[in-house]
C-alpha cells in the first residue's frame, strides 16, 4: 500500500532560534547528480526515540527524495520522528513539511526556510543561520509555498539529471532518429532521453513532427535512421500506451469497461487477472463509476480517463499522449493533467505529452521540449 503524505496544518511553532550567522552560503549546493561516496559522512538521518530509521550520505536533495520513497513504502507517518539534515534551504524545508516531520536539526539553515517551518509548525535547531544558500533550486523555489508543487519541481530536476548521467534510469531513449517520407524530412536527428516517472511536454506548430515522433516511439512509424529503445524492449507492445483525442469511435456500441478490457485482450494472463487489472485501472483513473456506461455517452474528459485506464490495464509504463486535452473544457483539462501527474509522481509512469496548450497549463514539474521543422530543441525547465 502506498502512503500519501500531506502538509501539516498551519501553525506557529516555538522554535529555537540561534544567533544568525548572516551572509550567503556559497558553493553549498550538492549536485543533482550522483550519490555520496563510499564511507562518506551521514548528511541526513531520520530517527524515532533515538533509533535510526533511515540514513543517507547522498548529494543535493536526493537524500530527501529517497526518504520520501522510504516513508511511502513503509506506509506510516513520520510526524513523531526527528530529522537531521546537514544543510536545509527552502527547497529542503518544503520537502520536509511535505513529509509531516515536526522536528528538525541542521548544521546550516537558510533564512528562506524559516517561514516554511513556521507556517507548518516545525520546530527547528540550527548551528548556523545564513541569509541564503547559493543554489539554483533555491532560487527557483524562492516564492513557492506549496510543498507538493515544490516536490514536483525538485523531482523533475533530479530525474533530468539522472537520465543524463545514468542509462539505467531511462525509460525511453530516442537516439539520432530521422523520418523521411518521399522527399520530405519529417524528423531529423532527434535525440530524447526520458527517465522513469518523468513528465515531458512536446510543443510545436502544426506539421512540425510532434505526432510523427510519438508514433515512431510507439513503433507504428519506422524510423529512416536512428534507434528507439524502451525499457524491457521485449514487452514493447504492452509497455507503451498511446492516447489521442479520440481513441475509440463514438458510434461504436461498447461500454467503458469493455474499452479498458481491450488493453488486456492480448495479455497472457488468466481471466480473473484480466478482470482484476481492468477494475484496478479504472479505480486508479477514477472512472470505475463509468464502467457500465456506453463509451459514446461519456464526456471528453471521461473518455480520456477511460483511455488511460486501458493503457494501465495492459501494463503500460510509458504513456504517449497526443493532444489529449484538445477537446476538453478548462476543468476537464485540469483534471486530466492532474491525473497523469499523479501517475508519474506516485507510480513512476513516464509521460510524454504533445500539446498546443502549453501556455494555459500549470507546467510545474514538467520538462519542455519543442519541435520545429522536424528538429527537437530543449527548452528551459518550466516552473
Between 8 and 354, whose confidence is greater? 354
- The helix (H) or strand (E) run that includes residue 201 is strand 199-203
How far apart CA 256 and CA 242 sit, in angstroms, is 17
**Residue 171 pLDDT more than 80?**
yes
DSSP state of 235: G
How far apart CA 258 and CA 266 sit, in angstroms, is 14
**Of all residues in the chain, what percent carry a pLDDT higher than 90?**
43
pLDDT band at 156 (very low <50, low <70, confident <90, very high): confident
Q: Where in the chain is the domain with CATH 3.40.50.300?
A: 194-222+231-378
pLDDT of 1? 26
Report the range of poorest mean pLDDT among 10-19, 240-249, 362-371. 10-19
pLDDT of 280? 94
**Residue 376 pLDDT more than 80?**
yes
**The CATH number, out of the four listed (1.10.260.40, 3.30.1310.10, 3.40.50.300, 3.40.140.30), of the domain defined by the range 42-164:** 3.40.140.30
Between 105 and 361, whose confidence is greater? 105
pLDDT of 54? 93
pLDDT band at 42 (very low <50, low <70, confident <90, very high): confident
- Using only C-alpha atoms, the chain has a radius of gyration, in whole angstroms, of 23
Average pLDDT over residues 132-138: 86
Query: Grid coordinates 536545509 are at which residue?
Result: 88
The answer to whether 173 and 193 are in contact (CB under 8 A) is yes
Average pLDDT over residues 8-28: 34
Q: Where in the chain is the domain with CATH 3.40.140.30?
A: 42-164
Query: Grid coordinates 512536446 are at which residue?
Result: 202
User: Considering the domain 194-222+231-378 in this protein, what is its CATH number?
Assistant: 3.40.50.300
pLDDT of 310? 94
Report the range of poorest mean pLDDT among 37-41, 169-173, 367-371. 37-41
Which tens digit of pLDDT belongs to each residue from 56-99? 988 888 899 889 988 887 877 899 999 999 999 999 999 999 99
Query: Grid coordinates 509531516 are at which residue?
Result: 100
Average pLDDT over residues 271-292: 94
**Residue 18 pLDDT more than 60?**
no
First and final C-alpha spacing in the chain: 30
**Residue 371 pLDDT more than 80?**
yes
The stretches of the chain forming alpha helices (DSSP H) are 62-74, 90-98, 114-119, 136-140, 147-165, 210-218, 236-239, 256-261, 271-284, 300-314, 330-347
How far apart CA 367 and CA 201 sit, in angstroms, is 6
pLDDT of 359? 63
pLDDT of 25? 40
pLDDT of 19? 33
Average pLDDT score over the chain: 82
**Residue 237 pLDDT more than 70?**
no
The answer to whether 138 and 90 are in contact (CB under 8 A) is yes
**Residue 214 pLDDT more than 50?**
yes
pLDDT of 165? 66
Which tens digit of pLDDT belongs to each residue from 317-334? 999 999 988 888 888 888
pLDDT of 139? 87
pLDDT of 38? 45
Contacts of 342 (CB under 8 A, 6+ apart): none
Amino acid at each position: 500500500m502506498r502512503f500519501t503524505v500531506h502538509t501539516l496544518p498551519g501553525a506557529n511553532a516555538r522554535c529555537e532560534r540561534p544567533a544568525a550567522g548572516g551572509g550567503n552560503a556559497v558553493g553549498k549546493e550538492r549536485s543533482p547528480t550522483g550519490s555520496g561516496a563510499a564511507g562518506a559522512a551521514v548528511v541526513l538521518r531520520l530517527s524515532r526515540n533515538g533509533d535510526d530509521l533511515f540514513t543517507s550520505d547522498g548529494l543535493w536533495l536526493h537524500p530527501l527524495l529517497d526518504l520520501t520513497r522510504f516513508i511511502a513504502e513503509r506506509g506510516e507517518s513520520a510526524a513523531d520522528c526527528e530529522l537531521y539534515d546537514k544543510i536545509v534551504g527552502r527547497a529542503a524545508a518544503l520537502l520536509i513539511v511535505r513529509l509531516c516531520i515536526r522536528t528538525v536539526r541542521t548544521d546550516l539553515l537558510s533564512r528562506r526556510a524559516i517561514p516554511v517551518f513556521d507556517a507548518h509548525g516545525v520546530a527547528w535547531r540550527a548551528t548556523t543561520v545564513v541569509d541564503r544558500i547559493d543554489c539554483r533550486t533555491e532560487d527557483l523555489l524562492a516564492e513557492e509555498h506549496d510543498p507538493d508543487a515544490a516536490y514536483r519541481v525538485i523531482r523533475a530536476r533530479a530525474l533530468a539529471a539522472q537520465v543524463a548521467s545514468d542509462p539505467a534510469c531511462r525509460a525511453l531513449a530516442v537516439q539520432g532518429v530521422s523520418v523521411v517520407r518521399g522527399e520530405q524530412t519529417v524528423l531529423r536527428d532527434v535525440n530524447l532521453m526520458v527517465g522513469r516517472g518523468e513528465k515531458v511536454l512536446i510543443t510545436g506548430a502544426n506539421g512540425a513532427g510532434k505526432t510523427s515522433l510519438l508514433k515512431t516511439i510507439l513503433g507504428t512509424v519506422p524510423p529512416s535512421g536512428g534507434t528507439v529503445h524502451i525499457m524491457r524492449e521485449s514487452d514493447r507492445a504492452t509497455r507503451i500506451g498511446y492516447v489521442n483525442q479520440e481513441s475509440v469511435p463514438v458510434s461504436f456500441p461498447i461500454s467503458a469497461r469493455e474499452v479498458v478490457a481491450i488493453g488486456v485482450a492480448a495479455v497472457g494472463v488468466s481471466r480473473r487477472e484480466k478482470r482484476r487489472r481492468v477494475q484496478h485501472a479504472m479505480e486508479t483513473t477514477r472512472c470505475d463509476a463509468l464502467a457500465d456506461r456506453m463509451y459514446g455517452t461519456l464526456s471528453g474528459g471521461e473518455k480520456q480517463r477511460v483511455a488511460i485506464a486501458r493503457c494501465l490495464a495492459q501494463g503500460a509504463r510509458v504513456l504517449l499522449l497526443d493532444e489529449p486535452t484538445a477537446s476538453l473544457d478548462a476543468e476537464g483539462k485540469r483534471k486530466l493533467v492532474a491525473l497523469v501527474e499523479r501517475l508519474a509522481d506516485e507510480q513512476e509512469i513516464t509521460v510524454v505529452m504533445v500539446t498546443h496548450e502549453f501556455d494555459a497549463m500549470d507546467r510545474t514539474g514538467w520538462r519542455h521540449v519543442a519541435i520545429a521543422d522536424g528538429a527537437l530543441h530543449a527548452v528551459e525547465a518550466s516552473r
